[in-house]
C-alpha cells in the first residue's frame, strides 16, 4: 500500500479544499484525487461607499477581494467608478448564489436609512474593511460564518 500525502489548497480565502493525494507512482504521473470531493463556494453581498459616505453601492460577487480591488482601481466602468465608491463598508457571506442574488436585489430597494443601519451594525465607524479581508486571506482565518 502506497503512502499518501495531505494537500491543503487555499486561494484568496475563497475556496478551501483538503484532498488526499496518493504518492507519485513509478511512472511519475500522479493519480487523480478521490471522486466526490466537493468545493465549498462562497458568495458575497457587499456595500461600498465613497470617502464621504454619501453614496452607497450594493453588489454581489464570488470573490470579494478581487471585486473590491476592481472597484478601488476603477477597472470596471459603471456606478462605483462614476461615484468613487471604493471603500468596502459591509459584506455578508453565503454558500448559496441564489440567496446572495436575492439579498442584493432586496437591499438595492431599501431606503438609505436601512442600509446605514446595517452598515453601522457591522462597521460603526464606516472604516474600509478591505485591509481586514486581505489579512484574513493571508492568515486563512476569516472568522466568517456562512449565513
Extents of the domains making up the chain: 1-40, 43-139
- pLDDT of the residue at 31: 52
The answer to whether 59 touches 45, Cβ cutoff 8 Å, is yes
Give per-residue pLDDT as tens, 97-120.
999 999 999 999 999 999 999 999
Of the chain, the percentage scoring pLDDT greater than 90 comes to: 63
Average pLDDT, the chain: 79
- pLDDT of the residue at 20: 42
Coil vs helix vs strand at 8: strand
- Please provide the CATH number assigned to the domain covering 43-139: 3.40.1440.10
Confidence of residue 7 (pLDDT cuts 50, 70, 90): very low
Confidence of residue 16 (pLDDT cuts 50, 70, 90): very low
- pLDDT of the residue at 40: 79
Is the pLDDT at 144 greater than 80? The verdict is: no
- pLDDT of the residue at 140: 54
Question: How far, in Å, CA of 49 to CA of 62, rounded?
Answer: 19
Confidence of residue 135 (pLDDT cuts 50, 70, 90): confident
Give per-residue pLDDT as tens, 25-84.
555 554 555 566 566 799 999 999 999 999 999 999 999 999 999 999 999 999 999 999
Amino acid at each position: 500500500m502506497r503512502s499518501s500525502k495531505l494537500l491543503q489548497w487555499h486561494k484568496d480565502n475563497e475556496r478551501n479544499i483538503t484532498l488526499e493525494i496518493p504518492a507519485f507512482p513509478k511512472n511519475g504521473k500522479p493519480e487523480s484525487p478521490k471522486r466526490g470531493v466537493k468545493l465549498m463556494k462562497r458568495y458575497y453581498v457587499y456595500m461600498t461607499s465613497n470617502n464621504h459616505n454619501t453614496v452607497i453601492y450594493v453588489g454581489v460577487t464570488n470573490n470579494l477581494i478581487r471585486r473590491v480591488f476592481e472597484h478601488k482601481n476603477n477597472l470596471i466602468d459603471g456606478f462605483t467608478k462614476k461615484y468613487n465608491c471604493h471603500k468596502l463598508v459591509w459584506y455578508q457571506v453565503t454558500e448559496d448564489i441564489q440567496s446572495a442574488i436575492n439579498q442584493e436585489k432586496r437591499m438595492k430597494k431599501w431606503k438609505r436609512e436601512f442600509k446605514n443601519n446595517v452598515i453601522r451594525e457591522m462597521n460603526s465607524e464606516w472604516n474600509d474593511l478591505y485591509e481586514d479581508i486581505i489579512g484574513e486571506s493571508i492568515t486563512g482565518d476569516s472568522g466568517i460564518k456562512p449565513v
